[in-house]
């Protein structure tokens, strides 16, 4: 190799080393920039964290309110089940009371005083037992007609009472803890 070729080769080697060093520096700079952007991409800003915190707090409050409402509903349903669980049984027992009342009012003339007293005592004990469970009769004497508690069977005239008031009571009504199980069957005054 002559001197000229050797100097060209040496120049190329220097160029190669310089270009390699430059490329390495570029790669290092790119890696530094990449690391910085990777760190920024995964790290939310303070405002984003604050918003996320507010959203989580609201979600927690909503979840607590939903749980509280569900518990209240459950307690209410359990209370109603205890209170009105015997409703069907009591409705089935009401005709027995009606039959005892009918027996008292339709006793024959041949019936003894003891027979009448026996039926009355049976009726009273039956009513007191039902009263223990919260079943209360509806006595609509001298009341204004109320469609929630009374069932109008017919209308009648009576100068002693005002229009819209109860006349005769054909069948007593019954309430269980202020819930009407059976409305009273009545006539309504219309003069």
pLDDT at position 14 over 60: no
Report the C-alpha gap between 109 and 92 in whole angstroms: 31
Reported confidence tier of residue 1, pLDDT bands at 50, 70, 90: low
More confident: 127 or 14: 127
In the chain, where the domains are located? 3-79, 86-189
Spatial separation of the C-alpha atoms in residues 164 and 143, rounded to whole Å: 9
pTM of the predicted structure, to 2 decimals: 0.59
Yes or no: say if 151 and 184 are a contact pair by the CB < 8 Å rule. Answer: yes
Structure tokens at 47: 């405002």
**Which architecture characterizes domain 86-189 according to CATH?**
Roll (2.30)
Alpha helices in the chain (DSSP H): 3-42, 46-84, 87-105, 113-132
Tokens of 149: 């508690």
**Does 19 score more than 60 pLDDT?**
no
pLDDT above 90: residue 127 = yes
Dump pLDDT digits (tens) for 42-89.
788 999 999 999 999 999 999 999 999 999 999 999 988 888 888 889
């Amino acid at each position: 190799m002559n001197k000229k070729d050797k100097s060209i080769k040496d120049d190329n080697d220097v160029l190669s080393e310089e270009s390699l060093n430059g490329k390495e520096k570029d790669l290092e700079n790119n890696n530094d920039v990449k690391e910085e952007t990777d760190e920024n991409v995964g790290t939310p800003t303070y405002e984003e964290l604050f918003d996320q915190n507010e959203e989580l707090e609201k979600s927690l409050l909503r979840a607590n309110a939903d749980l509280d409402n569900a518990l209240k509903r459950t307690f209410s349903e359990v209370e109603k089940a205890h209170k009105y669980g015997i409703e069907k049984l009591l409705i089935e027992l009401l005709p027995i009371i009606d039959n005892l009342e009918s027996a008292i009012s339709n006793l024959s003339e041949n019936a003894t005083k003891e027979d009448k007293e026996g039926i009355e005592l049976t009726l009273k004990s039956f009513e007191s037992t039902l009263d223990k469970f919260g079943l209360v009769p509806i006595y609509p004497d001298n009341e204004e007609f109320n469609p929630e508690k009374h069932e109008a069977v017919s209308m009648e005239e009576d100068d002693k009472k005002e229009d819209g008031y109860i006349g005769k009571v054909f069948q007593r009504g019954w309430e269980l803890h202020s819930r009407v199980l059976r409305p009273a069957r009545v006539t309504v005054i219309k003069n």
